[in-house]
Amino acid sequence: MPKILLAGGAGYIGSHTAVELLNTGYEVIVADNYSNSSSEAIRRVELLTSKSVKLYQADVRDKKALSEIFSGNKIDAVIHFAGLKAVGESVEKPIMYYRNNIDTTLSLLETMQEYGVKNIIFSSSATVYGEANPVPYLETMKRGACTNPYGWTKSMMEQIFEDAAKADKKLSVILLRYFNPIGAHESGMIGEAPQGIPNNLMPYVTQVAVGKRECLTIFGNDYPTPDGTCTRDYIHVVDLAKGHVKAIEYILDNHCMEIFNLGTGTPYSVTEIVETFERVNNVKVNHVYGARRAGDLAECYANADKALKVLGWKTEKTLEDMCRDSWNWQKNNPDGYI
Ligand code: NAD
Ligand code: UD1
């Protein structure tokens, strides 16, 4: 079976993708420097699948480390998850974000070129649509102006991939634009383990529910949306992981330079998330309404038709599944992977 290198594969989305790839029969190699993860996630992936993962502790910027991985394994395709992703931190430390995110991409592309590896799938984000495009977002829309350095790194990396594919006619690239991944594997063995105070909504909700934080602040209730709170396209991380399997199947069979939105196409508001979480889990989430957060858009959701048409992929899990699985993970692992 083809061998897939997951750069940044010990993280939240990478570990769930590893499970789905292994269950489909692919061989999985992971390279991660654990800057936002731990090898325990991969140990649990192995337990869950009864399959083994070849694991390298490596900085993906380090071309010497990458050479060892590429010379020791005949890699058929790379999925590039390795990156820093905290929006607020990227505003404080933009140089660190540009250095890490752009360099991982350049080192991977250079090493792939050296070893004749021709397939790469990249973790992009809905953030590249920027502020001016109307919802629902379509892959044919132009990238817009991002509101923070994290978003700009994604936008720049998309441009790098497009230019690299134009210049190397044999290089195949798929850019996957994720919407808002939440949830966890239904086993409760792997999930999102943010360090410090969570920036994102669902980990904050679960930490309030478990008693680690006192109260959730809902950022703004005066947006032009049905209940005044922002709407997003929340997607279960297992559906998202399955989207990567479909993208791998496609890229191994087709020479391509394609962009796909990975979302459900259905927006939910912050208030709906909190209410659904409380209802399905029968647990209270203390919350107050506060000021808007700088840089937030009122609405963000996908048109997900292209992924269905071309990849045969669509989401299967409901918002209830997302809330139940997020809570199951948090309850079983109140302090993450320790
Ligand atoms: P994550 O932080 O859990 O995973 C990223 C992994 O990359 C971590 O394991 C981290 O240790 C590793 N990493 C970072 N820099 C590295 C380096 N230089 N060398 C080796 N490993 C490195 O994040 P995630 O949520 O799993 O996200 C995966 C990818 O998807 C990221 O690129 C992220 O920007 C992108 N993305 C995430 C979301 C989201 O909401 N989670 C949304 C859109 C896009
Ligand atoms: C953000 C980034 C996105 C990135 C993603 C994952 C932008 C515009 N968006 O998405 O690029 O891929 O994080 O890192 O850069 N909320 C609260 N209270 C909280 C936390 C969040 O009300 O304590 C609200 C937010 O206002 C938002 C929604 O919950 O409306 C979702 O927020 P979040 O989980 O941070 O994701 P995004 O901002 O959509």
Tokens of 204: 């904050």
In whole angstroms, what is the distance from residue 177 CA to residue 188 CA?
A: 26
- Report CA(201)–ligand 2 centroid distance (Å): 6
Please confirm whether the linkage preceding 149 is cis (ω < 30° from 0): no
| Nearest in space to 243 (alpha carbons), one of 48, 17, 51, 75 | 17
- Report CA(146)–ligand 2 centroid distance (Å): 14
Per-residue pLDDT tens digits of the chain, which is 338 residues long = 999 999 999 999 999 999 999 999 999 999 999 999 999 999 999 999 999 999 999 999 999 999 999 999 999 999 999 999 999 999 999 999 999 999 999 999 999 999 999 999 999 999 999 999 999 999 999 999 999 999 999 999 999 999 999 999 999 999 999 999 999 999 999 999 998 999 999 999 999 999 999 999 999 999 999 999 999 999 999 999 999 999 999 999 999 999 999 999 999 999 999 999 999 999 999 999 999 999 999 999 999 999 999 999 999 999 999 999 999 999 999 999 98
pLDDT of residue 119: 99
Q: Tell the residue nearest (CA) to atom 20 of ligand 2.
A: 201
Q: Is 203 in the pocket of ligand 1 (CB under 6 A)?
A: no
Tokens of 95: 């140089």
In whole angstroms, what is the distance from residue 14 CA to residue 56 CA?
A: 14
Ligand nearest to the CA of 31: 1
- Report CA(124)–ligand 1 centroid distance (Å): 10
- What φ, ψ does residue 277 adopt, rounded to 5°? -60, -45
Phi-psi region of 144 (alpha: psi -120 to 50; beta: other; left: phi over 0): beta
* Chain position carrying tokens 């947006």: 223
Q: Is 37 in the pocket of ligand 1 (CB under 6 A)?
A: yes
What pTM does this model have?
A: 0.98
Q: Contact 246/219 with Cβ under 8 angstroms? A: no
In whole angstroms, what is the distance from residue 149 CA to residue 90 CA?
A: 6
pLDDT of residue 115: 98
- CB neighbours of residue 293 within 10 Å: 14
Q: Is 83 in the pocket of ligand 1 (CB under 6 A)?
A: yes
How distant is the alpha carbon of residue 305 from its chain centre?
19
Alpha carbon distances (Å) from 70 to 4, 7, 8, 16, 251: 11, 12, 15, 23, 19
Paired sense of beta strands 257-262 and 216-219, if any: unpaired
pLDDT of residue 338: 85
How distant is the alpha carbon of residue 155 from its chain centre?
15
pLDDT of residue 308: 98
Which residues form the catalytic set? 150
DSSP class of residue 127 equals: G
pLDDT of residue 302: 98
| Nearest in space to 138 (alpha carbons), one of 312, 260, 299, 225 | 260
